[in-house]
């Protein structure tokens, strides 16, 4: 919202400076975004008079002028090349040291062709105020020398721009801003009363309203005998100052009231309207040309104004060229209406049309102003353009905008932390236009003014069988209002300055700060950290992928198919991040980077809902090491990755089991399912199915894992004691057990671990052998058992006793024999 200082003073009686006004605007919540002061750049320029102008003795096109620059300046000699420089001419003088904006130079005293020159006589182009011409600017005869040219020309009028929040439609009017400033102690609000213009004839146009939901009330009147020429200079200057281009007197008047009172208006050329009626109605797919030259197609959701020939205006947003006023207009019809803010906003967004009218209507305008605004506009049109006005015609009725709000005085200190006396509270509200209905020692009830649509907003209740007759009546009238006490408190605090509200820290709920992350977020972060530490690179993929690719990794129900995907190959919610990871491996392999370790922690989708999955892929070969080659990745690599994540998340790794029923995108004989008990599946791992890899053109081994982080139970919260570190060295013993080929190594490890729980601290499988050195149908499992003494060093006899227990436990549980 832009306005000039002089425009503000039309409504605000104040002697405050621009800086004081801007400071107050900031404190009351109308943030100043910028101030343009054209007079500041013109401050050095002065009015002057050429006392004498003679021919330069050494140049045919130069004249030597003796200039009277007013008090404080002795007559100064200036060499000037303008052909119109002559004795007695009033001019604009720039003393030495002045920056000339039109030439981008700073002048200084000097000599030109042997004659001294102590300044410059300027044209308007050199001041940056006009187009180029053949001479210096000529001021009116009798202009007193020594005046500031900015004051003389009326250019010392700063332009202030403020930011207006969406709820403050009243601040999109100069009068609304003046009212706020007056209430905050900057001057006094000048009275404003529209002068009634009596109608002398019946309007040639009438209203019909077929869309009252969008336009509850519309007024209009005709003015005949107008002359639509250029608007007066004062009006053009105000519009130019705020960035609007003057068009004609009739159009400029409507733009003036949009900013002066926040009241959008529209004018129709009566002679270009077909028929004797304008109708407010829904659009029906028609096309009309708007005033900005665009062809607009309206829909039944759009409110339009139509005549007998069709749509002539998109109501509340933009008029049409077909009935717009021109220089030939002699009879004009002025429209002043109320429109539904939501419908205006939706139509403007849908059609991509922006205007000052839409900006105000969609934020809410003064619902009691239409009559007075129409009278004010009529008076200005008659004064500036001549003519006589008709009677006012209307359709609909004024809305029931009246509402009340209650404020308890004690709540101001309780919510805002500022003590304000009851008398000061009432005075502030009255200064903002709230009328006191009732006051007692506890609080006050006020009538909300018509221009404050943000206070005690109406809320219509749904009709229901249990609604009492009285509440049903109130609901039908739309008069139920939400609690407005906070709105009034905000107004009281705002007028005292938002910076005066004391900062108060939130109370601490406990001495120990609460965690900032929920357990699910902690799991995801931990999984990322562990996998990154294991040398894998994190990727972030879309939660949707190609339908065909997703079907290779699980069920793809139609309920998870996208109806409007961002791309044709991203039309399915992915069942697992593995879809994206394998595509990344495929792309990198095609570019010569087959050896990868990638992971992603993200959602997977199924008919049962969304699951948080930590997925990883390793492809190609492990890094080469000195003295050896590069081994291809194996399922044991990704099993180790998965187990590391589970251990970091507090899962009981020693109690999990692995079964050979992984889903179909894994190799059936080189994969496993990690289970906690018979029912809880924590994840799966293994080599991807050869057919899946062949279909992607991948000829290197690819192994992966998927962990369901939501399935991992939270570890019990307990006070952790420091670990008991033994001062004694651990003892390692290796065993080679001969077992049947179908015996799982996990069964052997579990049996060995349970043989002696006091001394056995770790059991690890280090070798699997199947060959001609063992009987047919058998395999040899190499197991390392770590014994950790606590109280004292173990004797050989004690070590042998534990070893015997291990052998006995494994033999009993797995039918194993100790290999010789």
608 labeled part of a ligand binding site: no
Would you give the end-to-end CA distance of the chain in angstroms? 94
452: left (phi over 0), alpha (psi -120 to 50) or beta: beta
Q: Which one-letter DSSP state was computed for residue 148?
A: B
Q: To which H or E segment does residue 40 belong?
A: helix 38-41
Output the six-digit token pair for 712: 């991992």
685: which residues sit within 8 A by CB, 6+ positions away? 635, 638, 639, 641, 642, 662, 666, 671, 672, 674, 703, 704, 705, 706
519 three-state secondary structure: helix
SS3 assignment, position 487: helix
Q: What is the largest CA-CA distance in the chain?
A: 130
3-state helix, strand, coil in the chain (%, to 5): 30, 25, 45
| Beta sheet of 32-36, edge-to-edge order | 2-4, 159-162, 32-36
Element (H, E) at 117: strand 115-117
Rounded distance, CA 784 to CA 732, Å? 7
**DSSP E strand boundaries for 503-574:** 537-538, 544-545, 572-573
Provide the β-strand partners of residue 613.
Answer: 602, 708
487 is in an annotated binding site: yes
**CA nearest to 810, candidates 758, 731, 746:** 746
Task: Quote the CA–CA distance of 329 and 268 in Å, as a whole number.
Answer: 9
Q: At what angle do helices 174-183 and 249-260 cross, to 10 degrees?
A: 30
Binding residue per annotation — 454?
yes
Other Cβ atoms within 10 Å of 440 Cβ, number = 9
Residue 808: strand, helix, or coil: helix
Asked if residues 177 and 190 have their Cβ atoms less than 8 Å apart, the reply is: no
Q: Give, in degrees to the nearest 5, the angle at Cα 597 between 593 and 603.
A: 120
Distance CA 623, CA 595 (A): 8
Query: How far, rounded to the nearest angstrom, does the alpha carbon of residue 406 sit from its chain's CA centroid?
Result: 33
- Give the integer Cα–Cα distance in Å for 429 and 426: 5
What secondary structure, in 3-state letters, does 638-691 show? HHHHHHHHHHHCCCCHHHCEEECCCCCCEEEEEEEEEEECCCEEEEEEEEECHH
Phi, psi of 162 (to 5 degrees): -120, 155
| Other Cβ atoms closer than 10 A to 644 | 16
Chain center to CA of 79:
58
Report the distance separating Cα 499 and Cα 24, nearest Å: 11
Q: Beta 277-282 vs 206-209: how paired, if at all?
A: parallel
The answer to the question of whether 301 is labelled as a binding residue is no
Q: How many CA atoms lie within 13 A of 129 on its CB side?
A: 19
Cβ contact 206:275 at 8 Å: no
DSSP characters for 566-628? SSTT--EE-S-THHHHHHHHHHHHHTT---EEEEEEEEEEETTEEEEEEEEEEESBPPP-TTS
Do 312 and 318 form a contact (C-beta atoms < 8 A)?
no
Contacts of 476 (CB under 8 A, 6+ apart): 463
Count the Cβ atoms, other than its own, within 10 Å of residue 38.
17
For the record, the structure tokens of 266 come out as 């529209």
The candidate with the shortest Cα–Cα distance to 252, out of 389, 380, 360, is 380
Residues annotated in a binding site: 454, 487, 490-491
Give the residue numbers of the binding site for Mg(2+). Answer: 454, 487, 490-491
């Amino acid at each position: 919202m832009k306005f000039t200082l002089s425009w503000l003073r039309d409504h605000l009686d104040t002697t405050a400076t621009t800086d004081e006004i801007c400071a107050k605007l900031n404190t009351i919540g109308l943030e100043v975004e910028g101030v343009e002061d054209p007079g500041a750049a013109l401050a050095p320029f002065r009015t002057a008079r050429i006392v004498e102008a003679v021919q330069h003795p050494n140049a045919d096109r130069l004249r030597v002028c003796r200039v009277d620059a007013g008090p404080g300046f002795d007559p100064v000699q200036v060499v000037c090349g303008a052909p119109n420089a002559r004795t007695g001419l009033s001019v604009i003088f720039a003393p030495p040291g002045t920056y000339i904006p039109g030439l981008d130079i700073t002048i200084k005293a000097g000599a030109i062709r042997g004659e001294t020159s102590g300044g410059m006589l300027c044209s308007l182009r050199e001041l940056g105020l006009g187009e180029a011409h053949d001479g210096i600017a000529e001021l009116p005869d009798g202009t007193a020398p020594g005046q500031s040219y900015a004051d003389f020309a009326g250019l010392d009028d700063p332009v202030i721009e403020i930011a207006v929040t969406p709820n403050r439609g009243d601040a999109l009017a100069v009068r609304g801003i003046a009212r706020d400033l007056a209430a905050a102690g900057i001057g006094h609000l000048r009275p404003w009363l529209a002068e009634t213009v009596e109608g002398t004839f019946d309007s040639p146009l009438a209203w019909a309203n077929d869309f009252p939901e969008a336009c509850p009330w519309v007024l209009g009147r005709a003015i005949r005998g107008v002359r639509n020429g250029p608007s007066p200079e004062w009006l053009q200057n105000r519009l130019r100052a705020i960035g609007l281009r003057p068009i004609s007197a009739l159009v400029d008047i409507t733009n003036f009231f949009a900013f002066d009172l926040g009241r959008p208006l529209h004018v129709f050329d009566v002679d270009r309207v077909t028929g004797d009626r304008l109708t407010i109605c829904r659009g029906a797919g028609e096309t009309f040309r708007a005033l900005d030259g665009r062809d607009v197609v309206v829909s039944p959701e759009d409110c339009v104004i139509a005549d007998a020939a069709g749509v002539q205006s998109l109501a509340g947003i933009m008029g049409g060229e077909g009935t717009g006023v021109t220089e030939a207009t002699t009879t004009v019809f002025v429209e002043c209406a109320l429109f539904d803010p939501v419908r205006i906003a939706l139509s403007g967004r849908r059609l991509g049309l922006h205007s000052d009218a839409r900006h105000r209507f969609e934020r809410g305008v003064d619902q009691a102003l239409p009559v007075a605004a129409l009278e004010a506009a009529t008076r200005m049109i008659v004064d500036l353009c001549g003519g006589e006005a008709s009677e006012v015609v209307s359709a609909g009725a004024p809305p029931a905008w009246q509402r009340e709000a209650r404020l308890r005085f004690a709540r101001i200190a309780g919510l805002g932390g500022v003590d304000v006396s009851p008398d000061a509270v009432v005075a502030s509200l009255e200064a903002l236009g709230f009328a006191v209905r009732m006051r007692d020692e506890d609080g006050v009830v006020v009538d909300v003014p018509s221009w404050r649509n943000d206070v005690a907003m109406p809320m219509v209740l749904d009709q229901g069988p249990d609604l009492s007759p009285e509440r049903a009546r109130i609901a039908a009238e739309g008069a139920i209002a939400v609690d407005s006490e906070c709105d009034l408190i905000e107004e009281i605090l705002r007028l005292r300055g938002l910076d005066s509200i004391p900062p108060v820290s939130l109370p601490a709920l406990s001495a120990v700060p609460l965690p900032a992350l929920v357990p699910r977020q902690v799991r995801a972060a931990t999984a990322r950290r562990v996998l990154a530490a294991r040398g894998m690179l994190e990727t972030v993929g879309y939660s949707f992928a190609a339908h065909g690719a997703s079907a290779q990794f699980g069920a793809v129900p139609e309920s998870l198919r996208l109806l409007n995907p961002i791309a044709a190959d991203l039309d399915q919610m992915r069942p697992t991040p593995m879809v994206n990871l394998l595509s990344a491996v495929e792309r990198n392999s095609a570019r010569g980077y087959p050896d990868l370790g990638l992971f992603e922690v993200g959602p997977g989708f199924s008919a049962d809902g969304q699951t948080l999955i930590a997925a990883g892929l390793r492809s190609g070969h492990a890094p080469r090491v000195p003295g050896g080659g590069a081994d291809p990745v194996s399922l044991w690599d990704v099993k180790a990755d998965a187990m590391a994540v589970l251990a970091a998340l507090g899962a009981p790794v020693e109690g999990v089991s692995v079964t050979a029923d992984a889903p179909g995108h894994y190799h059936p004989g080189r994969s496993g399912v990690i289970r906690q008990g018979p029912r809880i599946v924590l994840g799966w791992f293994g080599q991807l199915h050869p057919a899946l890899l062949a279909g992607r053109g991948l000829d290197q081994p690819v192994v992966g894992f998927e962990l369901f982080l939501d399935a991992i139970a939270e570890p019990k919260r307990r006070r952790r004691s420091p670990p008991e570190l033994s001062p004694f060295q651990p003892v390692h013993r290796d065993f080679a057990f001969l077992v049947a080929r179908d015996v799982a190594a996990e069964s052997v490890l579990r049996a060995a671990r349970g043989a002696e729980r006091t001394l056995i601290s770790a059991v690890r499988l280090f070798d699997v052998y199947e060959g001609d050195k063992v009987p047919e149908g058998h395999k040899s499992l190499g197991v390392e058992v770590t014994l950790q003494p606590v109280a004292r060093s173990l004797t050989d006899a004690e070590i042998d006793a534990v070893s015997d227990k291990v052998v006995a436990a494994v033999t009993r549980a797995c039918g194993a024999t100790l290999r010789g």
